[in-house]
Amino acid sequence: MKNSLIQKYNIPGPRYTSYPTVPYWDENTFSKEKWIETFKKSFIESNSTEGISLYIHLPFCESLCTFCACHKHITKRHEVEEPYIETVLKEWNLYVDLVDEVPLVKEVHLGGGTPTFFSKEQLKKLIDGIFLKAKKHPNHEFSFEGHPNNTTKEQLQTLYDVGFTRVSFGVQDYNLKVQEAIHRVQPFENVERAHRLAKEIGYTSISHDLVFGLPFQTKENVIHTINKTKELQPDRISFYSYAHVPWVKGVGQRGFNEQDLPKNEEKRELYEIGKELFAEMGYIEIGMDHFALRTDSLYKATEEKTLHRNFMGYTANKTQLMIGLGMSAISDSWYGFAQNVKTVKEYQNVVNEGEIPVFRGHILSKEDLVIRKHILNIMCHFSTSWEEENLQIENINEHLNKLDEMIEDKLVFIENKKLTVPEEARPYVRNICMAFDKKLHKKQPRAKLFSMTI
């Protein structure tokens, strides 16, 4: 039965880090002026209470990993570091100049690319520069993505000293054949070194990012990788489905053939094996793709119903406003989305001209905001309700009718204006959200846009 359900529902679909999803942003709603207007509105509403989040995109990598779908810039020239950091700080100052209050920053995340491409001096310059005109929230949580091969003790210590307590290490898989296929060769010893250094310095939440569905990956590989992970016992584990989207990222994801990838039931088995092993190790499943120990803030956020999801994925810190700084970074004011220009050169040119470097986005309508709340509820809490007036969807039955087959297959339950996803149906959560995605149903994509849902 499980295999037939996988065949039935394993279709292309969004990951819902936003609603509307990026391919369905309506450029007609957007302008830089409208974006700034929603930014100011959101800042006034949220800064003095919950604070704001910053996502800072550090795009440089010394080599190309062929499983990665991020916006990056491949170079071994480290002289690019200083002018890039200076530009990010200029962009931040452009936002700060738009508001009267001092920004209260609750969350900072350094993503990439490879944040640990940057020297400890440049990383300190970046964070010190941010807080020349900002304050840290009393309950702040700062995190960064570390590449185990090049994360140094000095980088870890420097970031810890300026407030970072969370780090995620990209592991993917420990099998050499798989690593060679994705151009990311890193022995367990490198991960162990970086992990233990972070622990010794005082990081309170260490995450390992694993991926299933990679080329040449077998269940023996997954079991071996998870057993090695058990030796280090990270506080969180992300267990991502490899998203094969070469039509989006081109040659970077064509370093192997399609037939080298685990398919459908075979791929899903890798996840089920992982999920079972994580449970035996004491990890609790959080949302989609994430697992955490009971001592971690992500688990506590789940228990307290404060888990949030945005362009950074799941986070224990909900803030209404997230500012994306750096090339290609996406900002979210709750009322609107805006994305920065996608090349380093253009990004630096626009910022150095004194302009906020956004080039596209979407301003949410009242209907968008209601649907966004429902999708966020389903992705974070596996339930939602349309009983309250501010959660009413016009023509709700049109959406619910799209769930008829899933109700029949016992993948979702609807009773008393409330939708609930049972634990065994969590792999299908993206499919359930798609029933509420009005943009998706109104205009079907002409070309491939999304990875497979399961």
**DSSP assigned state of 245:** -
- Rounded to a whole number of angstroms, the CA Rg of the chain reads 21
**Residue 315 C-beta-side C-alpha neighbours within 13 Å:** 24
Any known ligand binding at 301? no
Any known ligand binding at 338? no
**DSSP assigned state of 452:** B
Any known ligand binding at 233? no
What are the tokens at 88?
Answer: 């990010």
Calpha distance 170→151 (Å, rounded): 11
Calpha distance 55→324 (Å, rounded): 5
Tokens 């440049």 -> residue: 122
Any known ligand binding at 194? no
Any known ligand binding at 226? no
Any known ligand binding at 243? yes
Calpha distance 165→424 (Å, rounded): 33
The sign of the torsion formed by the CA atoms of 305, 329, 358, 119 equals positive
In Å, what is the CA distance from 331 to each residue of 48, 55, 357, 363? 19, 8, 11, 12
Any known ligand binding at 55? yes
Any known ligand binding at 316? no
Calpha distance 292→283 (Å, rounded): 5
**298 within 8 A of 236, measured Cβ to Cβ:** yes
Q: Which amino acid is at 55?
A: Y
Any known ligand binding at 69? yes
Alpha helices in 238-343 (DSSP H): 246-249, 264-280, 297-303
Calpha distance 441→452 (Å, rounded): 17
What are the tokens at 157?
Answer: 């210590």
Any known ligand binding at 330? yes
**313 within 8 A of 255, measured Cβ to Cβ:** no
Any known ligand binding at 61? yes
Q: Are strands 322-325 and 52-58 parallel, antiparallel or unpaired?
A: parallel
What are the tokens at 97?
Answer: 């100049």
From the annotation, which residues make up the binding site for S-adenosyl-L-methionine? 55, 67-69, 112-114, 145, 172, 184, 209, 243, 330
From the annotation, which residues make up the binding site? 55, 61, 65, 67-69, 112-114, 145, 172, 184, 209, 243, 330
From the annotation, which residues make up the binding site for [4Fe-4S] cluster? 61, 65, 68
